[in-house]
Amino acid sequence: MMTQDLVQRDRIIRQEADELLGPKGLRSLLEEYGTPHVSGSYALHLMTWRDLDIYLEQQDLSEESFFRLGGRIASSLAPVRMSFRNERINQTPSLPLGLYWGIYLGDERKGDWKIDIWAIDSQDCEKQLQFTERIAADLTPLLRCKILSIKDACWQDPGYRKTYTSQDIYRAVIEEGIENIDSFKQHMKDKGVSVG
C-alpha cells in the first residue's frame, strides 16, 4: 500500500474512533469511573487497524465497579465478546497492574473494532503514557511512514499481539533503524520471533 494511502487510512480509523469515543458515548461513560487516556496508535497517528487503547486512571476502582462498567459498555456498544483480566492478582510482567476489558465488536482480524481498557492507578498510568510520549517525541514523518508500512504488513499475522506487538515495531524502527517489513522480519527472527 502506498504511504499516502496508509496516512489516509490512519486518519479515517481515528475518525471512526472519535465516533466511538464521542457520539457513541464511550468517553463520557469512562469518565464516570475515572480519567480516560486514549493512547497507543490512536495518540501516535499510527493506526492501521481498528484497535483502541485506553487507560482509565483511577486509584482504587473495585472489581465490582469495573464489572458494572463492563456491563454498561456491553449495553452501549453491543460487542460480540468481552474478556476480563485481573492483573492486580496475576501480575504478568509485561502488563500493567490493573483490571482489563478486551472488547471485540466483531472479528478484529477482518477489520472490526477491538478496544482495550485498562483501569490502573496514577503511577502506572503515568508510566504507560510516558512510553507513548517518548515514541511521539522521536517520530518524524519518515519514521511514521516506515512504521505504518510495517504495521500494515503485520496486523493480520496470527502472531501479532501474541509473540510481538506494535511496541516491538516502534522500537525496531526508532531505536534499531529498521526500514521495512523484510528487515523487521529478520530483526525479529534474530530475536527468536517469527513474523508471518
The contacts of residue 63 (CB under 8 Å, 6+ apart) are 86, 99
Predicted confidence at residue 1, as pLDDT, reads 58
Q: Which of 109, 115, 94, 92 is nearest to 164 (CA)?
A: 94
Predicted confidence at residue 128, as pLDDT, reads 94
Residues in the chain, pLDDT under 50? none
Tell how strand 114-120 and strand 51-57 pair up.
parallel
Predicted confidence at residue 18, as pLDDT, reads 98
Specify the DSSP class assigned to residue 163.
T
Query: What distance in Å separates the CA atoms of residue 122 and residue 13, rounded to the nearest whole number?
Result: 28
DSSP, residue by residue, 25-62: -HHHHHHTTSEEEEEHHHHHT--SSSEEEEEEE-TT--
pLDDT in tens, 140-164: 999 999 999 999 999 889 898 889 9
Predicted confidence at residue 108, as pLDDT, reads 84
Predicted confidence at residue 50, as pLDDT, reads 96
